[in-house]
Every structure is written in C-alpha cells, then in structure tokens.
C-alpha cells in the first residue's frame, strides 16, 4: 500500500486529492494547521480514513514530525496562502507560507529521507499566477515568468526551489503549473464561487446584487476534480518534470456572469452587478490561457469538464446549499 502526505488537506484541492488517493488504495495523511481549525470536522466527515497530523509549513520541526509519522512515498505540497488579493495585504506572511513554506517541506523531506531521497516523490502546487504579465499566449512550461502579486512572487520562489532540489539532490520533485480550477468546494472569496453563491441567493430572493471588481480579466478555468488527477499522474512518471495543466480556453468575468445568471433564467444581469474599486487589484493579471499539450502528450491527461458545465455545476450546488439553509 502506498503512503501519501498532503499539505493543504483542508483546502479545495486537498479534499479532491484525498478522495482520489483513497480511491486508489493509498494510506493518506493530511497536514492540518491551527489549534482549532474549523475545517477539521469537514475533512474528518468527508475523508474518514485519512489520518490527520498537526503541523504548519512555517514550522520545520512540525514537518519533520509529520514525515516521521507518515513515512510517505508521495508528498503533495498544496498548502499555501492562496488568495491573490489578500497577498498584497499580507505580503510577508504570504512569502513565509507560500514561498518559504515550500522550501521548508523540501528541506524536511531531504533531512527525513537521508540516503533514501530517491524513494520519495514530491509535488509542488505551482500556479499560472506566475505568468502574471504574460510574455506569450498561450502560456507554456517554457514561457518567461513575470509575477504580478506577492503571491505570484512567492510561488515563483517555490517553483524554482522545487527545480533546484531536483537538480541539486536528484529529488523526484515535479511542479504543476496549474491554471485556475474551481468546484463547489472553492472558497467563497474566489470569483467563480462568489458569483455562483450570489447568483443562487439572488435567484432565491435572499440577496439583491453582487459587488465585483474587474470584469474584463480572462481566466482559463477548469474543474478541480480533473486537475488533481494530473497531480497524481505527474508523480507516476519515471522522471520528475514540470507541466502546464489547463483547458486551453479562456473566458472573461463577463462570460462567467452570463453563464451563471442565464442558468437561473436571468439574461440581463447588468442591473444586479455593481463594481467597487475595493475589489480591484494594485496590479492585475489580464489574460491567462495555458497550453496543456505536454500534459496531454506525456501524462495522457485531458480535462473532462468544460466551462459551462463547471459554472452550472457550481450554481446548482449553491442553489441546493442555499435552499437547505432556508
Ligand atoms: P485553498 O486556499 O483552498 O487551500 C489552501 C490550503 O493551505 C488550506 O488547506 C490551508 O489550510 C493550507 N494552509 C494555509 N496556510 C498554511 C500553513 N501555514 N501551513 C500549512 N497549511 C497551510 O487552495 P486550493 O486548494 O485552491 O489550492 C491548493 C494549492 O494549489 C495552493 O498552493 C494554491 O496556491 C495552488 N494553486 C491553486 C489553484 C486554483 O485555481 N485552485 C491554481 C494554481 C495553484 P486552512 O484551511 O487551515 O487555511
Ligand atoms: P486568481 O483568482 O486571482 O486568478 O487566483 P480569483 O478568483 O480571486 O480572481 C480571478 C479574477 O477575477 C477578478 N475579479 C474578482 N476576483 C475576486 N476574487 N473577487 C471579485 O469580486 C472579483 N471581481 C473581479 C480578479 O481581479 C481576477 O482577475 C486563483 C487562486 O486560486 C490562486 O491561488 C491560483 O494560483 C490562481 O487562481 C491560478
């Protein structure tokens, strides 16, 4: 039985990846931070067989302890401060967790495994946000990185540290340059879930309008359930490498609003959407669209859920949730 350790198990991807690995027969361990984490019970209910360990990416000794207990064959470093807008308000903390946290888990892995480093396979959750002010369309593994947020800068550090551990120590360390991926489990601070939740509430008469930021940005949105399969596939390869994971399609926030409102029978959403500079970013990433050719060719990976299906899945889920709240 293979053993896996997931940091960020309480996040959107951690939960999907935990389900995937359990379904494949892995013994799964998840790292949870904080003394009374409100998501602990959600994870326990969803993934009863997963063993939860307490630790924090900023605390090297807690990571060493988690590795000693779990003795993993595969490590998935999904833990991060992941909300881009928040990273301007907390740039130093984001650097510590999202950037140096990756170095901590890489170093803990090296120290833990000693001469047996070649046995462990490591996944780093890199991001399309690293492309920032894009230097090429579509973005590929070789596209020059130009991050536009403290989060993006921290992810670039973590990305190159992962490559550095591969090149310096021969570690099987792979990095997935994942474009935006969403689901009904997406945090409500992110734009897709903010829209799906608000649209459901407006349809049910619980809310009057949505207040948004920049509606012109374009993103390459996929389904989180598809994307965690790509993470797993990367660690099943003989050679560690870096892969863009995306759909190859891009859509604006306007299109997101079109699909979400249309699904509840509202075609003219403009009177229901206000814009507020509070939701604009100091530097915006205007256009992201990834080229997933390498993932298709080498990993045999392809996304299954398209943009409209994703948005309607999220609106449906929020309608059900909002109805259950009465
Ligand atoms: P979430 O924000 O949903 O989850 C982040 C996870 O990191 C949570 O479990 C959180 O724990 C944990 N975490 C935060 N701070 C720490 C810390 N100090 N020590 C240990 N764990 C911590 O993100 P997603 O699931 O969406 O994303 C997973 C990873 O993939 C992240 O690294 C993200 O940056 C990256 N990524 C995500 C993309 C996306 O579109 N979803 C695209 C590209 C990359 P808690 O619940 O306690 O806060
Ligand atoms: P992003 O996701 O920054 O791409 O990072 P987010 O959903 O927060 O923003 C996407 C785009 O929507 C615009 N936008 C708004 N965003 C939010 N959150 N709220 C609003 O009201 C709003 N109005 C417009 C934003 O300006 C932006 O252009 C996500 C995270 O999951 C990262 O961790 C991950 O690395 C990247 O995706 C790939």
Which ligand 1 atom sits nearest the alpha carbon of residue 187? Answer: 3
pLDDT tens string 310-319:
999 999 999 9
For residue 317, CA distances in Å to 87, 184, 257, 260 come to: 28, 6, 16, 12
Counting every residue written for the chain, the total comes to 326
The answer to whether residue 326 scores a pLDDT higher than 90 is no
Tokens 């259950």 found at: 324
Confidence of residue 193 (pLDDT cuts 50, 70, 90): very high
Indicate if ligand 2 lies below 6 Å from the C-beta of 100.
no
- The pLDDT of residue 115 is 86
Indicate if ligand 2 lies below 6 Å from the C-beta of 217.
yes
Please, are residues 292 and 247 in contact by the beta-carbon 8 Å criterion? yes
* Of the options 3.50.50.60, 3.40.50.720, 2.40.160.20, 2.30.30.90, the CATH number for the domain spanning 3-181+222-245: 3.40.50.720
The answer to whether residue 93 scores a pLDDT higher than 90 is yes
pLDDT tens string 295-307:
999 999 999 999 9
Atom 28 of ligand 1, residue of closest alpha carbon? 78
Q: Summarize the confidence of residues 172-189 as an average pLDDT.
A: 98
For residue 268, CA distances in Å to 98, 261, 265, 272, 273 come to: 40, 8, 9, 8, 10
**Nearest bound ligand to the CA of residue 193:** 2
Domain ranges of the chain: 3-181+222-245, 187-219+250-285+305-324
Task: For residue 80, report the distance from its CA to the centre of ligand 1, in Å.
Answer: 4
Please, are residues 259 and 209 in contact by the beta-carbon 8 Å criterion? no
Catalytic residues, by residue number, are 127, 129, 151
The answer to whether residue 102 scores a pLDDT higher than 80 is yes
Collapsing DSSP states into helix, strand and coil, what is residue 221? coil
Task: For residue 190, report the distance from its CA to the centre of ligand 2, in Å.
Answer: 5
Confidence of residue 100 (pLDDT cuts 50, 70, 90): very high
**Nearest bound ligand to the CA of residue 245:** 1
* Of the options 2.40.50.140, 3.90.25.10, 3.40.50.300, 3.50.50.60, the CATH number for the domain spanning 187-219+250-285+305-324: 3.90.25.10
Q: Which residues of 179-189 are buried (b: 16+ CB within 10 A; e: fewer)?
A: bbbbbbbbeee
pLDDT tens string 17-45:
999 999 999 999 999 999 999 999 999 99
């Amino acid at each position: 039985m293979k053993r896996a350790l997931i940091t960020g198990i309480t996040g959107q991807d951690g939960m999907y990846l935990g389900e995937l690995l359990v379904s494949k027969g892995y013994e799964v361990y998840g790292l949870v931070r904080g003394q009374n984490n409100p998501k602990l019970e959600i994870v326990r209910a969803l993934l009863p067989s997963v063993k939860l360990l307490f630790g924090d990416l900023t605390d090297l000794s807690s990571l060493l302890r988690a590795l000693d207990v779990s003795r993993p064959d595969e490590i998935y470093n999904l833990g991060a401060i992941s909300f881009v807008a928040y990273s301007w308000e907390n740039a130093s903390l984001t650097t510590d967790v999202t950037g140096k946290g990756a170095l901590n888990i890489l170093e803990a892995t090296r120290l833990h495994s000693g001469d047996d480093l070649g046995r462990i396979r490591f996944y780093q959750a890199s991001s399309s946000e690293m492309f920032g002010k894009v230097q090429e369309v579509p973005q590929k593994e070789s596209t020059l990185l130009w991050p536009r947020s403290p989060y993006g800068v921290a992810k670039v550090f973590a990305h190159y540290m992962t490559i550095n551990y591969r090149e310096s120590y021969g570690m099987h360390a792979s990095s997935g340059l994942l474009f935006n991926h969403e689901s009904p489990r997406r945090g409500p601070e992110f734009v897709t879930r903010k829209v799906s939740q608000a649209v459901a509430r407006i349809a049910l008469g619980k809310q009057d309008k949505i207040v948004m930021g920049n509606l012109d940005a374009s993103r390459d949105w996929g389904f989180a359930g598809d994307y965690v399969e790509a993470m797993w596939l990367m660690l099943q390869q003989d050679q560690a490498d870096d892969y863009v994971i995306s759909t190859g399609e891009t859509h604006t926030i306007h299109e997101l609003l079109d699909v979400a409102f249309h699904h509840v029978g509202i075609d003219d959403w403009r009177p229901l959407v206000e814009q507020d500079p509070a939701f604009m970013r100091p530097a915006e990433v205007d256009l992201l669209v990834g080229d997933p050719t390498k993932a298709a060719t080498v990993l045999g990976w392809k996304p299954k859920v398209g943009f409209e299906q994703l948005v309607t899945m999220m609106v449906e889920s929020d309608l059900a949730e909002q109805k259950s709240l009465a």
